[in-house]
Structure 1
């Protein structure tokens, strides 16, 4: 696909290699994230080394995870929603670039544009008013005639219809618990998002990686760790090519010269 290589590292973390640059979305790289444990296989170092650019969609702890960011080294460029930069700099990260909806970052052949998302932007969740807050965003990533949409956490919104044409969409299809709170997509609503976005290829993310200790082995939770992307593939059949990829594995993109044309 015009030189695009992607690996789904789990949860909302995807490694993209495009135009000679390596991008990582919402890094969640460790064995635990806050009170959650990683139930997918641990990540080998090579899957997250050599990153040039990190895209943070919002401030929630499973998307802006400080220990994971520290693994990437002090010089990696971190793009965050406008309003979050100073909070991150105070924690020792110097190469931080803030971006708001409609703004772009050009990085050595990559063009990164912030787009809206429908999700709480508060660090501690939608019910809190104290602490850091910045609007949740998604990203359009463009280079070499390829356009990739990374939604971050979001619910449906009509403006999605204006993001195309898209070669690849990274869409969440679940979360980390037995239920979804507001501002998320389940498999069927993610399929509705596909019909707005019209991507050639969709990779379901935000599934199969993190769980609450003690309930990960229950029957219902075991199903929720595996079923959502397959439910999504069924619901979206005929509207996009769905590439269900296990956490840690490379996405099986086809070499298609028509992509991006």
Structure 2
């Protein structure tokens, strides 16, 4: 595939077609993820078929989801933060590679560079010390003259300015619960990130997909499942950040602006 296409599959899962490769970020593809329920339909198998490369940002269960990785395929090339490879290999995946911030790898016409991320890297959360742990990362994806930044989960940090300019940034704008813990971007801080990155366009991710079953129907949770990308767009406009907000509902193709749509 010589074009550039994006499809937001929900939460932090994006299908990216660029530089003759198909990349999937943090695949979460099932109706349930641990104790969370998917509030939009799971993507059909065609949405995650033909994947060449999976990029995993960190070990949390809503980003490294073993049942979803099995759907993509145990032999698919999977890139994990350095230190997590042996744990995932023991789950039966045969093409696992590790990468640390500042390191690069290639896949076809793509170059992938891991970046810093400000987020807990422990599988079970920031307050535990036992079990698998590795630093959370983001990714810079370069190919066909374009640069895409996949933030994973992170808070704002000054070094983002060194990643830009980027053609498209995949930026988290919320999460799955009524509150955000440390190491996350909210809509206002995501707008600041877009400015630091000098992003020509931003796809808001990490919203509108997963919820705790018991509270998903409360008025507050209904708002939090819908409003964060709209609030992000409002903050971008108020701060006069020169970026296109590519608002996309979970499961839909991203409509790219003419300046980046080279398909």
Give the TM-score normalised by the residue count of structure 1.
0.97
Give the TM-score normalised by the residue count of structure 2.
0.96
- How far apart are 1:58 and its partner, in Å? 0.2
Q: In 2, distance between residues paired with 1:257 and 1:5?
A: 10
RMSD across aligned C-alpha pairs, in angstroms?
Answer: 1.2
Q: 2:91 corresponds to which residue? A: 91
- How far apart are 1:255 and its partner, in Å? 3.2
- How far apart are 1:42 and its partner, in Å? 2.2
Q: 1:244 aligns with which of 213, 235, 247?
A: 247
Q: 2:215 corresponds to which residue? A: 215
Show the 5 A alignment for 1:92-107. 92-107=92-107
- How far apart are 1:75 and its partner, in Å? 1.7
State the SS of the aligned residue for 2:213.
coil
More helix by share: 2
Q: 1:50 corresponds to which residue? A: 50
- How far apart are 1:40 and its partner, in Å? 1.1
- How far apart are 1:10 and its partner, in Å? 0.3
Q: 2:235 corresponds to which residue? A: 235
Q: 2:258 corresponds to which residue? A: 255
Q: 1:170 corresponds to which residue? A: 170
Show the 5 A alignment for 1:7-86. 7-86=7-86
Gaps of at least 5 residues in structure 2 are none
Aligned residue pair count? 258
Bigger mean CA deviation after superposition, 236-245 or 60-69? 236-245
Q: In 2, distance between residues paired with 1:202 and 1:231?
A: 13
- How far apart are 1:19 and its partner, in Å? 1.2
- How far apart are 1:256 and its partner, in Å? 2.3
Superimposed CA distance per residue, residues 90-117 of structure 1 (whole angstroms, 9 cap, x where no aligned partner):
1101100100111001111110000000
Structure 1 pair 53/211, CA: closer, same or farther in 2 (3 Å)? same
Show the 5 A alignment for 1:108-187. 108-187=108-187
Q: In 2, distance between residues paired with 1:167 and 1:127?
A: 36
- How far apart are 1:33 and its partner, in Å? 0.4
State the SS of the aligned residue for 1:214.
helix
Gaps of at least 5 residues in structure 1 are none
Q: In 2, distance between residues paired with 1:30 and 1:62?
A: 11
- How far apart are 1:258 and its partner, in Å? 9.5
Q: Which runs of 4+ in 1 moved over 4 A?
A: none
Residues 120 and 136, structure 2, Cα contact 8 Å, conserved in 1: yes
